[in-house]
Amino acid sequence: MTTLICGVDEAGRGPLAGAVYAAAVVLNPDMPILGLADSKKLSEKKRDALAILIQQHALAWAVASSSVDEIDQMNILQASLLAMQRAVEQMQAKFSHVLSSHDVLVQVDGNQRPKLMLPCEAIVKGDSKVQAISAASILAKTARDAELYQLDQLYPAYGFAKHKGYPTAEHMALLKQHGVSAIHRRSYAPVKALIAVEVIY
């Protein structure tokens, strides 16, 4: 029985707003995808194009998330691991017919492993070493960016389409001006510091 590699990565641990996303990807060895790399090293246009190819050609893939409430309740590390667990479990359920005839080894970017029924390895800088992890980083990042564009429509005062929730000078200035929104992470220090004068937008 052949062993397939399932790459797993997350996107959105650093931002002050929005969910954290994770993806799980099993690439098709017979259909290589050129240009896979750590999503942070790719342009948005390139990531979007690769995400389409990954979804079309991978043997199996899934994207999942952990909400702002979950991040605030359990901390960002645990929420990220939960999103990874959800992504792998969704992938297994969605593509059970494809994966059932193979052994699957999960390889996760970083030094922490989610709770899984499958064998799992943590690989530091895995998103630049393992193609399947690179693919997962791309799907997680593009899914999270898509959510931030939607949040920008719902909360136009904060400029989410521009900074994607990261603590840029512009984001911090708008946060101080408009107060903490319902989708900001209240457990994060810069947000927590403003809660004393909080205004729900």
Give every CB contact of residue 159 below 8 A, 6+ residues apart in sequence: 152, 170, 171, 174
Give every CB contact of residue 153 below 8 A, 6+ residues apart in sequence: none
Superfamily holding 3-152: Ribonuclease H-like superfamily/Ribonuclease H (3.30.420.10)
Q: Convert the pLDDT of each residue in 76-131 to its tens digit.
A: 999 999 999 999 999 999 999 989 888 999 999 999 999 999 999 999 999 999 99
pTM metric for this prediction: 0.94
Q: Convert the pLDDT of each residue in 15-69 to its tens digit.
A: 999 999 999 999 999 999 999 998 989 999 999 999 999 999 999 999 999 999 9
All structural domains of the chain with their residue ranges: 3-152, 156-197
